[in-house]
Amino acid sequence: MADEHLMYPRPQVGDFPVHRLLHDMQEDEDLFVEFLGDSDSVLGRYPDVDDEAKQLIAQHDYAGMQQRGLHPIMIVQFQRHIEWGMRMTASRAAATSVTDVTS
Amino acid sequence: MTTLATDGVRSTDAGTKGGVAFGFCVSHAPQIFTQPKEEDPAELARMHAGYRAVARSAREQHVDALIIVALDHLHNHFLNLVPQFTIFTGSPVVAQFNRRRIELNGNPTLANSLIDGLLDRGFDPAFSQNEVLDHSFLVPLNFMVEEGLEAPVIPIIVNAYVPPQPSIRRCYDLGRAIASWAEATGTRVGIVSTGGMSHFPGTERFSKPDVEADHRVLGWLEAGDIEKLVSMSSAELDDIGMVELRTWAIALGSRGERVQAERHSYWDSGHCGYAVIEF
């Protein structure tokens, strides 16, 4: 692919299930906490994710995830969540109350 | 015509009802909000002051709305759908990061008018009525809210990180279209774009931002040579860690063809160039 040399290359279609797993943990704090306590249980619910990717994620192998070609933003937000306890969750934080609210 | 008010707030074409009354570009790194001990408190305070200046400008310029242009770090716009430009048309505008959540008034009528205006001008933005915006919005908005920002907010979300992204010239042209819409509808807005400067989150170059590129780009903008920035290819932006400067191009474009930026602050944090510019 023409942009494979980029720092932020086009995500590989074959890695969609891996990115989905990372995204689920990024956006679902309960799932993330469960992963910290029992990674095998969470990873076992993602049969489409290959064993190599599961091992990288279970071992918090950020460099390995980079070498695998996973999206850097997904990696760094996983890393921030793990290493700094930084909650990167946004999309499932439910903006459901559609009312006029002034901060 | 640009003038400086007594409180330092720049005023442009203050007598004109419709148009883009002011523009800012600011960084939005999470650390500016979380303020880890490794970062210089004085430099972080300068960033916070820059954010607050945006809120003051909105108040002084009596804008109908503040357009804030930022991105989505693969939260709402995950790989199942990646729009290049998204206008948020809902209300409230909600942003959240790291246990901080803010809600501001949106303006669905104006946001929808903006979409119509962009469609008339050759752009086809997506829209969203309900999503929680990420730290690229929360970090600057947090300090604007503290400063008393009251104007409704219209968020624009740009695809910065998932190739293929829009060209930076396309972003600049979007800014021109926003200005055209504002002038045609008599809508008075301010605009602030968040992102940059050079940084490489999630890569082996994380601790090596291209500081020389930061100074080069700032020099262009201070000299009014916007063309040098918007002539850059997507690969060039990627190579110098400035994929997020697409947001800047939108704000710059909205302020006309002869924009000359004033630098409020710049600091090399070691992982990202933090900057605030006004124009």
Domain-embedded: residue A71 = yes
Domain-embedded: residue A7 = no
Q: What pTM was computed for the model?
A: 0.92
**Number of separate domains in chain A:** 1
> B131 to chain A nearest CA, in Å?
6
Phi-psi region of B8 (alpha: psi -120 to 50; beta: other; left: phi over 0): left
Q: What is the mean pLDDT of residues A23-28?
A: 95
Nearest to B92 among A20, A77, A100 (CB): A100
- pLDDT score, position B18: 95
- DSSP letter string, chain B: -EEE-TTS-EEESTT-SSEEEEEEEE---HHHHH--TTS-HHHHHHHHHHHHHHHHHHHHTT-SEEEEEEE--SSSS-TT---SEEEE--SSEEEEETTEEEEE---HHHHHHHHHHHHHTT---EEESS-EE-HHHHHHHHHHHHTT--S-EEEEEE--SSSSPPPHHHHHHHHHHHHHHHHHHT-EEEEEEE--SSB-TTSTTTT---HHHHHHHHHHHHTT-HHHHHT--HHHHHHTT-TTHHHHHHHHHHT-TT---EEEEEEE-SSBEEEEEE-
Nearest to B73 among A20, A77, A100 (CB): A77
Residues of A in contact with B200 (CB under 8 A): 7, 72
Domain-embedded: residue A70 = yes
Cβ–Cβ contact B30 with A under 8 A: yes
Q: Do residues B131 and B88 lie in contact, with contact meaning Cβ atoms separated by under 8 Å? A: yes
- pLDDT score, position A88: 75
Mutation target to probe the B interface, by most B beta carbons within 10 A, among A4, A6, A7, A79 is A7
> A36 to chain B nearest CA, in Å?
18
Cβ–Cβ contact B205 with A under 8 A: yes
- pLDDT score, position B258: 84
CATH topology of domain B18-278: Protocatechuate 4,5-dioxygenase; Chain B (3.40.830)
Q: Do residues B272 and B209 lie in contact, with contact meaning Cβ atoms separated by under 8 Å? A: yes
Q: What averages of pLDDT result for each successive group of 10 residues across chain B (279 residues)?
A: 38 67 97 95 98 98 98 96 98 93 97 98 97 96 98 98 98 98 98 98 96 98 97 98 98 93 97 98
Cβ–Cβ contact B162 with A under 8 A: yes
Nearest to A91 among B76, B102, B239 (CB): B76
Residues of A in contact with B271 (CB under 8 A): none
- pLDDT score, position A86: 85
Q: How far apart are CA A22 and CA A53, in angstroms?
A: 10
Domain-embedded: residue A66 = yes
- pLDDT score, position B6: 34
Q: How far apart are CA B147 and CA B262, in angstroms?
A: 21
- pLDDT score, position A3: 65
Q: How far apart are CA A90 and CA A79, in angstroms?
A: 16
Domain of residue A30, residue span: 22-84
Domain-embedded: residue A4 = no
Cβ–Cβ contact A2 with B under 8 A: no
Q: Please give the DSSP secondary-structure letter assigned to residue A81.
A: H
Nearest to A19 among B79, B103, B135 (CB): B79
Q: CA triplet A97, A100, A102: central angle to 5 degrees?
A: 110
CB within 8 Å: A19 and B78: yes
- The sign of the CA dihedral A22, A25, A28, A31 is positive
CB pairs under 8 A between A and B: 127
- pLDDT tens by residue, A45-100: 999 999 999 999 999 999 999 999 999 999 999 999 999 888 877 766 554 443 33
- pLDDT score, position B257: 82
In terms of CA atoms, which chain A residue is nearest residue B199?
A7
